[in-house]
Amino acid sequence: MIEAMLTSPFFGLALSIAAWCGGVWLQKKTKWVLCNPLLIASLVIIAILAVFRIPLADYNQGGDIIKLMLGPVTAVLALNIYDERKVLKEYFFPVLAGCLVGSAASLASVLLLCRVFNLDEMLTASLLPKSVTTAIAVGIAESQGGTAGIAAAAVVLAGVVGAVFAPLFAKWFRVTDPVAQGLATGACSHALGTTKAMEMGELQGAMSSIAICVCGIFTSIIAMFF
């Protein structure tokens, strides 16, 4: 009975949904930035699989269904650009320049650090797209010979760091322009950082949302030359 439940696609789906809902509840309860629902859900799922020694393949029966949604969700990001087309039109060239520099700097810094620490090609390819949304990062990593799991973990880590430290970095480096704040946050820490940008202000949130889409395009193109 238990084995049949664990090998059912509903197990992975139910566990993912329950872990996510628990993360959302914990974040609302504590108001802590570190209690990000995605981070909490990931840790809970890993803990449950490890403690009860449930094979990853069993979880993936349902988890892979969620993974299939990453593509359509990424396509929906285009809606953000359309909704904020007035803002994008007003700051068109600064947005393009900022996202291009941000994407190039992210890729170059990862490549440099990987070379300094003498990491192998697989890890380098997996870490390169850490600053873009998961679906794009996984596609870039796999096309370069990387691993989807490591790429996804790097994306989550970059997002959490951005969500926690974005306001502090803006203060330390005296970045007061809301457009620059939003672009920098979205370019470095994608959707997780954007949640913090929205807390910083409406314009910051809008620019961060645009940066997610534009940086995803730039990163996909630039990564082909690394």
Same domain, yes or no: 144 and 211: yes
Same domain, yes or no: 23 and 96: no
Q: Which domain holds residue 46?
A: 2-68
Q: Are 186 and 215 in contact (CB under 8 A)?
A: yes
What was the pLDDT predicted at 105? Answer: 92
Measuring CA to CA, which residue among 184, 194, 199, 109 is closest to residue 159?
194
Domain total in the chain? 2
Per-residue HEC secondary structure of 160-208 comes to HHHHHHHHHHHHHCCCCCHHHHHHHHHHHHHHHHHHHHHHHCHHHHHHH
Same domain, yes or no: 50 and 129: no
What was the pLDDT predicted at 10? Answer: 84
**Mean model confidence pLDDT for the chain:** 85
Same domain, yes or no: 45 and 95: no
Same domain, yes or no: 35 and 84: no
Using the 3D structure, point to which of 68, 91, 125 is the last residue of a domain. 68
What was the pLDDT predicted at 219? Answer: 92
Same domain, yes or no: 60 and 134: no
Using the 3D structure, point to which of 45, 68, 91 is the last residue of a domain. 68
Same domain, yes or no: 8 and 59: yes
What was the pLDDT predicted at 127? Answer: 92
Same domain, yes or no: 58 and 118: no
Using the 3D structure, point to which of 68, 87, 119 is the last residue of a domain. 68
What was the pLDDT predicted at 55? Answer: 87
Same domain, yes or no: 88 and 194: yes
CB-based burial of residue 127 (10 Å sphere; 0-12 exposed, 13-18 middle, 19+ buried)?
A: buried
What was the pLDDT predicted at 59? Answer: 85
What was the pLDDT predicted at 115? Answer: 92
For the chain, list residues with pLDDT below 70. Answer: 1-4, 6, 33, 74, 77, 80
What was the pLDDT predicted at 4? Answer: 65
Same domain, yes or no: 172 and 214: yes
C-alpha gyration radius of the chain? 18
What was the pLDDT predicted at 108? Answer: 93
Which residues contact residue 81 at a Cβ distance below 8 angstroms, ignoring those fewer than 6 apart? Answer: 88, 210, 213, 214
What was the pLDDT predicted at 34? Answer: 72
Same domain, yes or no: 193 and 132: yes
What was the pLDDT predicted at 99? Answer: 92
Same domain, yes or no: 135 and 59: no
What was the pLDDT predicted at 2? Answer: 67
What was the pLDDT predicted at 77? Answer: 67
